[in-house]
Structure formats: C-alpha cells, structure tokens
A = this chain, B = another copy of it.
Amino acid sequence: MAGNSFGNIFKLTTFGESHGPALGGVIDGCPPGIKLDLDFIESEMQRRKPGQSSIVTQRKEEDSVQFYSGIFEGKTTGTPIGFLIHNKDQKSKDYSHIKDTYRPSHADFVYDKKYGHRDYRGGGRSSARETASRVVAGAIAKQILEGIEITAHVSSVGEIKVDTHYSKLDFSTIENNPVRCADPKTAVEMESFIKQIRKEGDTVGGEVSCVIENCPIGLGEPVFDKLHAELGKAMLSINAVKGFEYGSGFDGSKLKGSQHNDSFNSDGKTETNNSGGIQGGISNGMDIYFNVAFKPVATIMKSQKTIDSNNNEVEMKGKGRHDPCVVPRAVPIVEAMAALVLVDYLLINKLYK
C-alpha cells in the first residue's frame, strides 16, 4: 500500500532519502528492444538539478545515474531497470537544529506522527530530491513516446503571468532563459522578480503549463482511470503542487455549454479545444494541455515561529542556500510525470489491438 510506485504497465518504484547514500528506482514493464540514449537521460537530469542558474538554489548536486539491470548492449531487455543516483555530497553536516523541530509547511510534523521514526536530514524522503528518480524514468519514457511531444514551461511566477495562448508561443525559446518561460519578455520580468525575492530571503510560487502534441486517439481508461485523472494524480504527486486543471479548467466552469462545446470538423478534429484533448477521459487527438500550480517553497531565510517535537514554541530561520522559486526546476519534472502517464496508457492501449 505504501505509495512508492507509479504506473500500471510501465511502473516506476522509487526509493531513497535526500541525505542517504543514494536515491534510485526500478522501472518494471519497460518494453524490450528500446535503444536508449543515455546522454539524453543525463541531459534531462541536468535540467532538474540545483545550481543551474542564478535564480535557483546554488546547492550543488552532481546528479548522475547508474544503471544496474534491464539494459544490455544498449537496448532494454524487458526485464526491470534498476538504477541509482548517488548522493555525493552528503557531508556529516549538522542537522540537529531541525532534528526535533517541525519546520512550518514542511512534512516534518506529519512524518513524525505517521511513521514515528524518520530520517530528518534535509527532509529525508519528503525532499523534492526524490523527483530525480522520476526524471530518469521520464527520460526513458520520452524515448518510447516517439512522435508525441511533451513540452512544459513556466507560465506564471507570483502575479506575473504569460497572457499569450500557448499556440502562439515559441517553445524553442524555453531553455534560453533561466526561468524556462516560453515568452521571452515575460521571462525577463519573472527573472528580475525572483532575484528580488531571493534578496528578501523569501520564496514565491508559480505555475507550470504543459502541452502534449500528437497524442494518438484512444488513451484513457474510464471510468476511474480517465487520462486526465491519472495526469492530475501524477502532477499532484509532485512536491509543492496545489492544483491541476486541464483544457478550459477552472475558467471553463464559468462558461455556457454553447460557448464551451467543441464542434467537430469533418476530419474528426474539433474547431475549438476547450476539452483539452480529452473527452470522457479518453484522448481525442487534439492537443492535451494543462496547468499545474506550485506553492512557494517553505524554506525561507526569515525567522519563523514554530514548535519542536515536545510542543515547545521555538524560533527558526533557514540557513545557507535557499531556492527562491522552484518552478523553473519543476518544468522537467512535470514533463517526466506526463511522459510516465502517456507511456503507461499507450501500452495499455495495445490491449485493445
């Protein structure tokens, strides 16, 4: 029941704490005969890792993955793929200040209550470092999804929001700015805002928007495992996510049916796409698009009132480096989770052939 596996056919199980010797994972159900581009996997990991630019945390993590099984002579064998990402720099740093202190809006308190015993160093299992394993699996999934394009970018930071419809953005610019925003002008504003937030010792949230192009018709398993329900769960499982909407989303709830319905053209495509590429839980061949809301990182460089495990009130303040805005680094994680859902549902769809 412990929820460390994701997927039905293409199933990822992750393990590892932020300050243990290594993180890792096992992918069971990867089809055999897939030629893997290991450099691509490393490049995806580089996109997620800390210390890439001036607007994310300066903490260094030399992320590199080592595979132990399931790959032979450069190709997958259909047997489980086991991998590790070593935590190279886990020094015997002093964590005594958080050992018994429950950081506000962190998982310390609930892990203690639920499990009784936890690795408190750097958040342990609840650290977003766990998502490195997801990016590895996602990078493999992407290689199976040939032809299906998954592109995420930062569409808002704080109150700064991209107003342009995604179809008018040039996704090839995303990696050109440290915010990973597809609208270069807004990206500049965002970057400068994040720098200011950093100076304040504060953090800020934002949204990641994702578009999936060329998804075949027919993916999704109603009534409970609708494609968007699984995408939603995938996104909500990422650290710091507070909301998910697809297609017309929350704004769609304000519309009338006559405004919202997507008329069919004679080629089976729809004139509008308020449905967001999914009808009745099944992909209809149009672009799938969705937004994911991230709260601001909880660790701030400001003094905060909190309690320790004996319910004593204490003051605490983050030390060292902090991550003023996690959203740019969340872009590859959103893509990875989308890729995991898609490859899983694409495989499920083989059952109908």
Interface residues of A (CB under 8 A from B): 1-6, 8-9, 11, 13-17, 20-26, 28-33, 68-70, 72-73, 75-82, 84, 102, 104-107, 109-111, 113-119, 124-126, 130, 156, 158-159, 197, 200, 202-207, 217-218, 220-226, 228-230, 232-233, 236-237, 239, 242-250, 252-268, 270, 274-276, 279-284, 291, 293-300, 302, 304-307, 311-313, 347-353
Contact = CB atoms under 8 A, between A and B. Distances in A.
B242 A252 contact: yes
Contacts of A283: 110
Contact of A3 (B3, B104, B226): B226
A73 B223 CA distance: 22
A229 B237 contact: yes
Contact of A84 (B9, B84, B254): B84
A312 B267 CA distance: 9
A78 B264 contact: no
Contacts of A348: 1
8 contacts: A15-B26, A107-B281, A125-B222, A224-B233, A226-B237, A252-B293, A256-B296, A266-B311
Given A9-B1, A110-B279, A263-B306, A256 B130 contact: no
A69 B228 CA distance: 25
A118 B69 CA distance: 11
B72 A312 contact: no
Given A9-B351, A244-B244, A274-B105, A295 B255 contact: yes
Given A105-B261, A203-B258, A259-B296, 13 more contacts: A16-B80, A114-B282, A114-B352, A158-B253, A203-B257, A207-B253, A229-B236, A237-B281, A243-B246, A245-B250, A261-B304, A264-B305, A266-B311
Contact of A295 (B226, B260, B294, B347): B260
Residue with the highest number of chain B CB atoms closer than 10 Å, among A17, A223, A247, A297: A223
B221 A1 contact: yes
A77 B257 contact: no
Given A28-B4, A110-B218, A293-B250, A72 B117 contact: yes
A331 to B, nearest CB: 14
Contacts of A245: 242-245, 250, 293
A351 B351 contact: yes
A-B complex: 5 closest residue pairs judged by Cβ atoms: A107-B280, A3-B225, A243-B245, A3-B221, A15-B82
B261 A298 contact: yes
Given A107-B281, A223-B4, A255-B205, A293 B249 contact: yes
Contact of A75 (B1, B117, B221, B349): B117
A15 B69 contact: yes
Contact of A233 (B107, B118, B130, B233): B233
B104 A270 contact: yes
Contacts of A111: 280, 282
